[in-house]
Amino acid sequence: MATHKLLILPGDGIGPEVMAEVEKVVAWFGRQGVAAFETERGLVGGSAYDAHGEAISNGDMALAQAADAVLFGAVGGPKWADVPYSKRPEAGLLRLRKDLGLFANLRPAICFPALAAASSLKPEVVEGLDILIVRELTGGVYFGEPKEIVTLEDGQQRGIDTQVYTTSEIERITRVAFELARTRRNKVSSAEKHNVMKTGVLWKQVVTRIHKAEFADMELEHVLADNCAMQLVRWPKQYDVIVCDNLFGDILSDVAAMLTGSLGMLPSASLGAEDPATGKRKALYEPVHGSAPDIAGKGAANPIATISSFSMALRYSFKAIEAADMLDKAVTNVLASGLRTADIRSDNTHVVGTAGMGDAIVKELQHLAG
């Protein structure tokens, strides 16, 4: 039986509450013999600052480097509003992303049938939706130099951001997108703006070349990023995997995610380069939402985003596809049975707390296992 090293970083606010439910799910899969999970726990964000004076300690960073997957809750809150900038809670997440070299951000947009009516779009547009946005996370205009505000001779100021991409940065994110599409519906849509941007021209050339050389049996389409935003709202089910740069990915993934309703439902993954010796990638899995200080401590948070993030870990880090499918099915069934946390409540549903939702999902797993 495979052994997987998990580092659990619950963080702040509702982070520990939702992560406690994930730990029930991890324990269940461990008991089922799907894999042996060696679990370590660490601190990140404000809780790490309180304990170590840093948003993540070197010791916990070493554990993250050694882990097969990091499960991250959420960080931040009013308590740490005045800590020095370099030690603010978010610095822990940024260090993890940087030191682990997590260049590929995966944001699925899945619409559970039971929640289709909660979307701001018509149910027929979103029902059954299952798309994946693959965003380049460590390059592009957020990091390119020069990045500055300068004062001109006439007294005006000029702000400059620089959009830069190299061939190798585009190649590696393209490969991730095609490899993921191979586990799904074999289609990649590459979004850029080659009509007005040089990085877009290069992006399109490189994606086309990698497709032809390595993934010619799969479908590739190119779409201008602005059109992609429009299409996502018009008929999102035309897509399978969308690959794009950091800036477009930031925007398109938020559009796609919100097609499906509450923040409490949205998982994500960030992957690093493949280790040629082991074939493994560094990986961090986290809900899209933050620490929700307004509901922290009330036992009311929706744990599904974090539980679904563990499903992504099963799928992408541990290649336990059947287990991931089973967990997704358990979530679908529990929602179909009418159980809801407060954030996704609607008429004729039964509202439960964080632990109630976690327990129901574990119970449904047990039921599915027979």
Chain residues in the site for ligand NAD (CB under 6 A): 14, 18, 74-77, 93, 263-264, 286, 289-295, 301-302, 305, 343
Q: Which is nearer to ligand NAD, 170 or 259 (by Cβ)?
A: 259
Q: How far is the CB of 77 from ligand NAD (least distance, A)?
A: 5
The answer to whether 86 is a known ligand-binding residue is yes
The answer to whether 89 is a known ligand-binding residue is yes
Helices (H) and strands (E) in the chain, counts: 12, 14
Alpha helices in 265-320 (DSSP H): 304-312
Q: Which is nearer to ligand NAD, 281 or 340 (by Cβ)?
A: 340
Is 226 a residue of the active site?
Answer: yes
Is 193 a residue of the active site?
Answer: yes
**H/E/C letters for each residue in 14-47?**
CHHHHHHHHHHHHHHHHHHCCCEEEEEECCCCHH
Let me know if 83 is exposed, middle or buried by CB neighbors in 10 A (0-12, 13-18, 19+). Answer: middle
For 207, the 3-state DSSP assignment is: helix
Q: What is the DSSP string of 247-268?
A: HHHHHHHHHHHHTT--GGG-EE
Q: How far is the CB of 13 from ligand NAD (least distance, A)?
A: 6
Q: Which is nearer to ligand NAD, 108 or 264 (by Cβ)?
A: 264
Alpha helices in the chain (DSSP H): 15-32, 46-52, 58-66, 90-99, 123-126, 167-182, 198-214, 225-234, 246-258, 304-312, 321-336, 354-369
For 155, the 3-state DSSP assignment is: coil
Q: How far is the CB of 116 from ligand NAD (least distance, A)?
A: 19
The answer to whether 82 is a known ligand-binding residue is yes
Is 161 a residue of the active site?
Answer: no
Catalytic position from the list 130, 142, 187, 204: 142
Q: How far is the CB of 358 from ligand NAD (least distance, A)?
A: 12
Q: Which is nearer to ligand NAD, 189 or 270 (by Cβ)?
A: 270
The answer to whether 315 is a known ligand-binding residue is no
Containing 297, the helix (H) or strand (E) segment is none
The answer to whether 305 is a known ligand-binding residue is no
The answer to whether 85 is a known ligand-binding residue is yes
Position of tokens 């992504």? 312
Q: Which is nearer to ligand NAD, 105 or 189 (by Cβ)?
A: 105
Catalytic position from the list 99, 130, 226, 359: 226
Residue pair 340/54 in contact by the 8 Å Cβ criterion? no
Is 245 a residue of the active site?
Answer: no
| Residue ranges of the binding site for NAD(+) | 77-90, 290-302
Tell me the catalytic residues.
Answer: 142, 193, 226, 250, 254
Annotated binding site for Mg(2+): 226, 250, 254
